[in-house]
Amino acid sequence: MNKTSIIILTVFSLYGCSSQKKLTTAPPFSINNPSYQQYAGGREESGTGFILQLAVDVEAGNEIKFLEVFFRGRVLEAELKEEGENLQIICNYKYTSEDKKPDIIMHSDPKEEVGNQPPGSINSKNADFPFDLNKDEAVVSYKVITADPQNNKVTYFKITGIKNKPSRIYQ
C-alpha cells in the first residue's frame, strides 16, 4: 500500500468513529431505582403506554439539563419533576397505531397468507436508533450548564437494571 491509501483509510476510520455517540461512565448525577410501568386506560380513547421513572440525585454545584431518554427503540422526552425533595425524570410514552402489530392471516390455503410479514422483519428494528440496548437498559442525554455556552455539549449515560413494575389498568 502506498502512503496516500494509508492516509485515506486513516481519515475514513477516524470519521466513522466520530459519528458514534460516546457514553460517559462518571456523570455529575446518580440514578436510583429506575423503573417503568405499562398502563392501559379503561376506554379505547384513554390509550395504552408506559411511564419510565428515573430518580435523580444531582451533585452539588452542578446545573444539568436532561434532554432525551433512549429506551426500547424509542426516543423519549426527558421531563424533570420535583416530588418533595426528590427529582425524577419522567418519560410518558403513549402507544400509537404505528406500534401495533399487523393482523396475521391464517388460512388452510397458503396462498391466502401472502401478505403476512415474517417475524423479525426489517420493520421491527428502528434503523435510526443510535444505541444497542437490552430490555432493562436506557441512555440519558444531558448537558452540564456552564457559564460558557460553547462548553455545554451533549453527553450520554447508560442506565442498567431498569425494573418492570406490574401493569396498571385504569377503570
- Residues 29-48 pLDDT 10s: 999 999 999 998 777 767 88
- Write phi, then psi, for 49 (nearest 5 degrees): 175, -155
The better pLDDT of the pair 85, 69 is held by: 69
Cell numbers at 155, concatenated = 453527553
Is the residue at 36 inside a domain?
yes
Is the residue at 134 inside a domain?
yes
pLDDT, tens only, 156-166: 999 999 999 99
Q: What is the mean pLDDT of residues 79-83?
A: 89
Is the residue at 44 inside a domain?
yes
pLDDT, tens only, 109-146: 887 777 776 665 444 445 578 889 999 999 999 998 88
Q: What global pTM score does this model have?
A: 0.71
The better pLDDT of the pair 2, 39 is held by: 39
Q: What is the mean pLDDT of residues 57-62?
A: 86
Is the residue at 29 inside a domain?
yes
Is the residue at 4 inside a domain?
no
Q: Is the distance from CB of 31 to CB of 142 less than 8 angstroms?
A: no
Buried b (16+ CB within 10 A) or exposed e, 43-64: eeeeebbbbbbbebebeeeeeb
Is the residue at 78 inside a domain?
yes
What is residue 159's predicted lDDT score, i.e. its pLDDT? Answer: 94
The domain total for the chain is: 1
Q: Cα(first)–Cα(last) distance of the chain, in Å?
A: 70
Q: State the residue range of the domain holding 28.
A: 22-96+112-169
